[in-house]
Amino acid sequence: MAVQESLLDKISDTIRSGKIGQEVKRSARWFHDKVRGLKGELRNKFSSTNAAKFYRESEKINPLVFKKRVSLGDLFCYYYNPKYRQVLPYYDMFPMIMLIGVDKDTFLGINFHYLAPKFRAILLDRVTAKVGGGLINWKKISKIREIAPTVKRYRFDHIMKKVVPIEKNEQEIAIFLPTEKFKKAGKAQVWSDSKRKFG
């Protein structure tokens, strides 16, 4: 319960802060109200979690199913072991990506974990506004300021376990979850580097 209150407190602080814009305040307030309104299992799932707990308690699909049935704009998370991890300055072992491109062996995604929570909210709002009800594509979203540090290419054959699909109506909550699992750097450094990239 303490973790749940801590997460809600963080969102409340974001709402009260005078240092952020109305767009972020709206997203943070929506998230705060949404989590408070959830009951039982869903509330537990979205209010006190980490990568291992979230993965354990989620419905999962086989990576082959994921590869064959992926839909652009959908959100997924999975355990991942990068092919070139030795040369990367850091990487996320549990990406949460919005799918924006697919080819035979790889896929491209917006990994929200590379941004601090308030910028995740801004990015999701702006992607949603650009795409509207249509299909997501790079041309529509490439000019969004916060997107640069989040776009990553992944290999299907380096997904380590089954994939967790995030339901459409849970996307706005899921992006706030503290499920990032960075290797070779802490999240504070990753978020600071990302912020420098989009200014």
Instruction: Return the pLDDT at 6.
Output: 41
In contact, 197 and 118? CB cutoff 8 Å: no
Give the residue-averaged pLDDT of 25-51: 58
Indicate the domain borders of the chain.
1-48, 58-198
Model confidence at 4, in pLDDT bands (50, 70, 90)? very low
**One-letter amino acid of 124:** L
Give the model confidence (pLDDT) of 47-98 as tens digits. 556 888 888 888 899 988 888 888 899 999 999 999 999 999 999 999 999 9
With a cut of 70, say whether residue 167 has pLDDT above it. Answer: yes
Which residues of the chain form beta strands (DSSP E)? 75-77, 91-92, 96-102, 106-111, 151-155, 164-166, 182-183
Q: Which pTM was predicted?
A: 0.79
With a cut of 90, say whether residue 141 has pLDDT above it. Answer: yes
Residue 137 φ then ψ, to 5°: -150, 160
Give the model confidence (pLDDT) of 168-195 as tens digits. 877 877 887 888 999 999 999 999 999 9
Q: What is the largest CA-CA distance in the chain?
A: 47
* 178's tokens: 């503290």
